[in-house]
Amino acid sequence: MKSLFFLLMLCFLFNSCTRKYADYDVINKLQYRENPNKRPIAPVMAKGHEDKVRECFNQWLFMNNAEKEKDRYLPMLVQVLCPGSEWLVDTRITQDWWTTIIFSQACVEVRAHCPQKSPKR
């Protein structure tokens, strides 16, 4: 029983985690793929329905790099949201990362509102 307690304490000692947020008023999906840090000037758009996607990437020991995989897939995740529109409105990108000695996980969640379609006249 003492060894199990000691093992659990070691796990908690050698564990770290972090969370990072980024908020965007608008995202042009095509420009985001080329330059994620660019903040475009967009026409005024009303918020429509919310769309979200979440993906996690795992890493055992040194087999791959979960953080680099997450960074590589993030522009593709932005592209998936709001099909049929090239804009995202009021977007929040949340990135989580945690690690132990032998296992790491990097997750990203993208929540955005699709622009409301104007009625046809």
φ, ψ at 81 (rounded to 5°): -70, 150
Quote the number of domains for the chain.
Answer: 1
Domain extent, residue 45, equals 15-115
pTM of the model: 0.76
- Is the pLDDT at 4 greater than 60? The verdict is no
Asked if the structure places residue 70 within a domain, the reply is yes
In DSSP notation, 64-101 reads S-HHHHHHHHHHHHHHHSSTT-SEEEEEEEEEEEEE-S
Model pLDDT for residues 37-59, shown as the tens digit of each residue: 777 777 778 888 999 999 999 99
The residue that leads in pLDDT, 44 or 74, is: 74
Asked if the structure places residue 30 within a domain, the reply is yes
Q: Pick from 1, 3, 7, 11: which is nearest to 102 by CA?
A: 11
Asked if the structure places residue 90 within a domain, the reply is yes
Model pLDDT for residues 28-37, shown as the tens digit of each residue: 888 887 787 7
Asked if the structure places residue 3 within a domain, the reply is no
Phi-psi region of 18 (alpha: psi -120 to 50; beta: other; left: phi over 0): beta
Three-class SS state of 18: strand
C-alpha distances in Å from residue 110, one per residue of 12, 80, 95, 98: 29, 10, 9, 18
Asked if the structure places residue 1 within a domain, the reply is no
* Cβ pair 90, 112 in contact under 8 A: yes
Asked if the structure places residue 20 within a domain, the reply is yes
Q: Pick from 71, 93, 70: which is nearest to 81 by CA?
A: 93
Asked if the structure places residue 7 within a domain, the reply is no
* Cβ pair 112, 88 in contact under 8 A: yes
Asked if the structure places residue 2 within a domain, the reply is no
